[in-house]
Amino acid sequence: MSRSFGFNTISPREKVARYILLAFVLLITIGPFLWQLSTSLKGSGEDIYTRIPRLLPSQPTFDHYKAVADTIPVWDYARNSLVVAVLVVGGNVIGASLAGFAISRLQFKGRKLVLGLFLATLVLPGEVTIISQYVTVREFGLANTLFGVALPGMIGALNVLLMYNAFRSLPIEVDQAAIVDGANAWQRFVFIGLPSVRGTISVVAIFAFIGAWDDFLWPLIVLTDPDKYTLTVGLQYLSGTFSNNPRLIAAGTMIAFIPIVIVFATLQRFFFKGVEEGAVKG
């Protein structure tokens, strides 16, 4: 599917120019991460402030990764982030597909109203209600708990709408045929609906995972006990409280960064397929 300018063939000169530009942008987008990775691996005796930057460490070492774990319970933080992310992914995949299916494929009174409610919340930036959301979570007795961090994001309105949109593109005749064959709503959901929206489900899952793993403001408000921090809050704690050693902070950021890159790189084909299916149109 080449839809670019003009025609399928491009001149060798254009090709070279494109690769040069691509390499330049690559340097800008990936360079800082590589620099941080390099800093995290440089030995304590190595001058990291040298005027002529050296990308490759001359005394490579994993010591700083160990030192991070001695300073803050970084692996516990990673586990905490994972727990929150798994809860949020599970909640969204289940809750949003069920609701999206019902709103798009089943007839019932109040359907339009329900859809309108989900649409209406989109104009509301999350930060506006973050304080009263904290009050709600506190009333549930979940302040300073990981479950309290995960709970409000477990079924996002945007994800319900994405699933609604995905189920809607399935032709109605398929449903009618299934009804004639005696399939009930649940069977139509499991055997007809779900298999046809796998692309969108993966987009929802990927974004729910990334969003929960990366989130900072909300866990910062909910969690007060350093034992319960997620990685992002823990990293801020590390850099703010304990350390002026850039190597140590670099190692900490890599511990938070590498898992999410692996997740994304592994699943990126589903993501870009979802983009082509129209799951990411804002």
Binding residues for another protein restricted to 106-165, rule: CB under 8 A = 106-108, 111, 114, 117-118, 121, 123-125, 127-136, 138, 151-152, 154-155, 157, 160
* Choice between 55 and 66, CB closer to another protein: 55
Task: List binders of another protein among 33-52 (CB under 8 A).
Answer: 33, 35-36, 39, 49-52
- CA–CA dist 198, 106 (Å, integer): 20
* Choice between 9 and 70, CB closer to another protein: 9
At residue 175, what is the residue type?
D
Task: List binders of another protein among 250-279 (CB under 8 A).
Answer: 250, 252-253, 256-257, 260-261, 264-265, 268-269, 272, 275-276, 278
142: burial class by Cβ within 10 Å (0-12, 13-18, 19+)? middle
Chain centre distance of CA 23:
26
Identify which of 32, 34, 87, 122 has the alpha carbon closest to the alpha carbon of residue 211: 87
Task: List binders of another protein among 203-232 (CB under 8 A).
Answer: 210, 213-217, 220-221, 224, 231-232
φ, ψ for residue 155, nearest 5 deg: -135, 105
Q: Does 240 bind another protein (CB under 8 A)?
A: yes
Tokens coding 11: 């001149």
* Choice between 82 and 157, CB closer to another protein: 157
First-to-last C-alpha distance (Å) of the chain: 23
Task: List binders of another protein among 54-93 (CB under 8 A).
Answer: none
How many other CB atoms are found less than 10 A from the CB of residue 135? 10
Tokens coding 249: 């902070």
Q: Does 30 bind another protein (CB under 8 A)?
A: yes
Per CB under 8 A, which region of 62-70, 72-80, 102-110, 195-203 contacts another protein?
Answer: 102-110
Among 88, 96, 150, 205, binds another protein (CB under 8 A): 96
